[in-house]
Structure 1
């Protein structure tokens, strides 16, 4: 009798445990990107001696705070029907499919120069998905999101505030703006021409974008969200600190519409955390800290480009800068290095996660096409290497 009671107790304890494990297994299968990133972070943490302070230091908290606030604000505009109404007014009636694609690609290209590649993708990728889906162009989503990402990464090259690696180099080497633009201008212009040529793959077929319904968000509330968006841009432009932005935006959103916090892509933020930890750990490997000093001299461009493929371009520039005075080659190397793998530029993860949320998404096909398009674009840029370097 006592044995039977023990068995029942054991089963009552184990069944909930088994159910929890099954839920975890299901979640991992449904989110393979998050699973891979978490295993990557765990494996590198075990392999590389690292302190808790170093782990926390690997996480780019200002970037995460900015993305969190922007996603919440964009969610508010979406809830209020503002984005749907805006694209309906902008593309009312028949419009060329090519013109539609060019708008979204070059919106990312030019906006990234002022508000960073991450922010431009946060704004325009969801809008592109909504518009193209409404226009019956779902078959073009993979193409458009890939080249939106390339456009954001290449457009952001132009200015010191376009991306974090630019700001680091601009400050570290105490460059002036004219000097900086002389380095980045030709590459940015060439990238823009390439992107324009690529969009001619899209036929000029007329498509119809349905008119958006009038927004449900009132003018006063809309003004509040617009002002909060402006606060985020001030943080992006380094006119206020991300902490000040966070302390302004979050309480204001709680008062204006706390429901927006439900629509924040927390999986994306968690994915970034895991990637920051994993990449940070790899950067602490002895070969990564001792190797650059021996290999870098005269090879700054190519080494920074190659390291960016596995470390991402921001950690790469932080790792290599102390070993070289070749600011020009390093600046171009880490920026061109944003082409290639999906982690070469962390901004690329934003588009990928947005694509995973679409109907009939095919992650492996996206990754294959994204990588192939980036490699071809990278090859075209390298063919012009003598002009830039």
Structure 2
């Protein structure tokens, strides 16, 4: 009897674990609820749903998650971050370094990964000397959103828009470079007036940061190879090689990635493209009209404030082929209200400090307003 009861409780606990896991991910929960409503009131054949997913984007994201996890596990990123801060001697110079570090890392490793490197670094430095921690984390969040504009790998919406645009890696960078440069210039100006020149002593940061050089070297080489394959629209081949190689050699680089993020992306495509296909949604957006670059830009910038910039990019791409205007809009849309970019929510969550939301919006909303005007001007003149 005890054995039977244990087996029965194990069967019952599996659905409970699944529900608990879903409950911890509000984005996934909302997507599943939305899909249930769509299938109840506007059903589509279940077998047609996988066809709504942009698998090239999902495969590319999976490969990047594995490679960035490998770099993280090698210790290279933490070692580099600690080496950087040894060159700062004031609160303002630390802010400059952290903004630069976060922005640069976000262009290569995506904005989320950059946060997981830089925010813990700030938390550890705060234990050595008092820092304006909340303000630094806010500016790091702004930095990863601004820096990630530059490359297709900077953030998930760029990755998606790059895949559907058909342009080369270099072509994408050239198209987004003016906006990135001006957003970063504005951020540096804000940093100058927001941080003091108060001296800092970080000389106690002497803990050795071990680096697995072989692991890091292989990850770097594979990263370059994967970029070339993704640029030629062969991300699937690259993913097979990267995942297969690490499963044989260092399987933790594959097993420890954010699998839920990939699942969320799959459901985002299914739900948002199903919503975009609804007659009243199509009629509404067609009535508004996204037939000019500025309208597509404004739509991405505003819609991101309600549903975040990744879903906004996926949904609006059904109504406009002007990928550059849309990229501009959802990039600027990452500022403003915190939900505009999931990176904002991650940064605040990592900081684990009360009272950050009002201070965050005190910086991000003015940045969104001014950035919106700058982005519109850049789109019209470059």
| CA–CA distance in structure 2, aligned partners of residues 261 and 139 of structure 1 | 36
Q: Say which one has the larger Rg.
A: 1
**How much is the aligned-residue C-alpha RMSD, in angstroms?**
4.3
The residue number in structure 2 matching 1:319 is 318
Where do 5+ consecutive residues of structure 2 fail to align? none
Residues 128, 44 of structure 1: alpha-carbon distance in 2 compared, 3 angstrom cutoff: farther
Q: Distance in 2 between matches of 1:169 and 1:101?
A: 36
Q: After superposition, where does 1:172-251 map in structure 2 within 5 Å? A: 187-200=179-192, 201-205=194-198, 206-208=200-202, 210-213=205-208, 215=210, 217=212, 219-235=213-229, 238-239=231-232, 241-251=234-244
- Residue 321 of structure 1 deviates from its aligned partner by 1.8
The question of whether the paired residues in 2 share the 8 Å contact of 1:313 and 1:334 is answered with yes
The alignment's TM-score, normalised by the length of structure 1, stands at 0.73
Which residue of the partner structure matches residue 290 of structure 1?
283
Distance 1:91 1:120 in 2: 21
Residue 123 (structure 2) pairs with residue 127 (structure 1): no
* Shift in alpha-carbon separation, 1:254–1:387, aligned structure 2, 3 A: closer
- Note the 1:39-78 alignment, pairs <5 A: 39-52=33-46, 54-78=48-72
Q: Is the 8 A contact 1:59 1:276 kept in 2?
A: yes
The answer as to whether partners of 2:112 and 2:346 remain within 8 angstroms in 1 is: no
Larger mean CA deviation between 157-166 and 307-316 belongs to 157-166
Q: Is the 8 A contact 2:161 2:323 kept in 1?
A: no
Which piece of structure 1 moves more, 127-136 or 39-48? 39-48
Question: Given the superposition, is the C-alpha separation of residues 244 and 126 from structure 1 closer, same or farther in structure 2, using an over 3 Å criterion?
Answer: same
Map 1:1-389 onto structure 2 (within 5 A).
19-20=13-14, 23-24=17-18, 26-52=20-46, 54-92=48-86, 95-110=89-104, 115=108, 119-136=109-126, 143-144=135-136, 146-157=138-149, 163-164=158-159, 167=162, 171=166, 187-200=179-192, 201-205=194-198, 206-208=200-202, 210-213=205-208, 215=210, 217=212, 219-235=213-229, 238-239=231-232, 241-296=234-289, 299-309=295-305, 310=307, 312-321=311-320, 332-340=328-336, 344=340, 348-349=341-342, 352-353=345-346, 356=349, 358=350, 360=352, 373-384=363-374, 387-388=377-378, 389=380
Deviation larger for 189-198 or 145-154:
145-154
Question: Contact conserved, 1:48 with 1:282, CA < 8 A, in 2?
Answer: no
TM-score (ref. length: structure 2): 0.74
Select between 188-197 and 377-386 the one with higher mean Cα deviation: 377-386
Deviation per residue, 1:281-334 (Å, 9 max, x gap): 222221232333332156444334334443734224422225xxx787556444
Alpha-carbon separation, structure 2, partners of 1:94 and 1:110: 17
Q: 1:224 offset after TM fit, Å?
A: 1.7
Structure 1 contact 317–334 (Cα < 8 Å) conserved: no
